[in-house]
Amino acid sequence: MSEIFNRQAGAASPLTLPRAGSGYVDSSGSEWQESGAEGFLIKPLMENPETGVRTWLMKVEPGAFSELHAHAEVEQIYVVEGSFYDQEKTYGAGAYIVRAPGAMHTAGSDTGAVVLLFYSPG
């Protein structure tokens, strides 16, 4: 497996999972960060290093493409705006995709997209 999306060192820290109560972040005030993959920018919203659970917004720039890869975790994708594709089909706003740990896939967008990503242990 090859993890291609990573939060860059020195970037703004996301919320950690609260042990009680609620947490809050206003992502509209934060900048898009490099993910380590060209054309894929992220806004980390919440991460729990103990469990590996993380929630990110990802902006996929028009023409961005990532080669075949997999994630060690369950990956859930919700397309917020634009269109997003993998090797199987193109997904529009409102589409939801879930992948098992280790599921090989591509990712990209012809016109640009914003997706909400959830990663959790399998």
Give the tens place of pLDDT for each residue, 79-108. Answer: 999 999 999 999 999 999 999 999 999 999
Q: pLDDT per residue over 37-56, tens digit each?
A: 999 999 999 999 889 899 99
Counting the structural domains of the chain, the total is: 1
Tell me the pTM.
0.86
Q: Give the CATH number, domain containing residue 79.
A: 2.60.120.10
- Measured CA to CA in angstroms, residue 110 lies from 62, 86, 101, 121 at distances of 5, 11, 26, 30
- Does the residue 95 lie in any domain? yes
How much is the pLDDT for 2? 41
Confidence check: pLDDT of 29 > 70: yes
pLDDT, averaged across the chain:
89
- Does the residue 91 lie in any domain? yes
Span 26-42, average pLDDT: 92
Q: Which two tokens stand for residue 44?
A: 């980390």
- Does the residue 71 lie in any domain? yes
User: What is the extent of the structural domain holding 88?
Assistant: 38-120
Q: What is the dihedral of CA 46, 48, 52, 55, to 10 degrees?
A: -10
Span 7-28, average pLDDT: 74
How much is the pLDDT for 46? 94
Q: pLDDT per residue over 102-119, tens digit each?
A: 999 999 999 999 999 999
